[in-house]
Amino acid sequence: MPAYWIARSRIDHPEQYKKYTDLVPGIVAKFGGKVLARGGRFRIMEGPEKFMRHVVIEFASFERAVACFESREYQEAAAFRRAGGGVVENVIVEGGDATPR
């Protein structure tokens, strides 16, 4: 079952943040991820306007998405963002409707 890595970002220092974003596409591809949306046009329909960049990446499974996030390569790339480049909220969600009926 596919899973989706959803990230919402606020970029505080574009130069520092770019060091992170330059590395991420290759890392995601290594784990079989497919970028569905990355930094495109958006409209916040409800909720705070805290994050101004949105990313959705599809993986073949929940486990592959988590493995990508936890990988040494991703953690090293994320260190640039965490060192003042910006703030990110990352969520990995399994696809499908798991709501009991």
Residues 56-79: tens digit of each pLDDT: 999 999 999 999 999 999 999 999
User: Using an 8 Å Cβ cutoff, are 11 and 85 in contact?
Assistant: yes
Which element (helix H / strand E) includes 37? strand 34-38
Rounded CA separation 49/45 (Å) = 10
Number of domains the chain contains: 1
Total-model pTM: 0.90
Identify whether 41 is part of a domain. Answer: yes
Q: Is 85 exposed, middle or buried (0-12, 13-18, 19+ CB in 10 A)?
A: buried
Domain of 35: which CATH number?
A: 3.30.70.100
Spell out the per-residue pLDDT of the chain, length 101, in tens: 999 999 999 999 999 999 999 999 999 999 999 999 999 999 999 998 999 999 999 999 999 999 999 999 999 999 999 999 999 999 999 999 888 88
CA 100 from chain centre, in angstroms, equals: 28
Domain extent, residue 78, equals 3-94
> Beta strand pairing status for 3-11 and 34-38?
unpaired
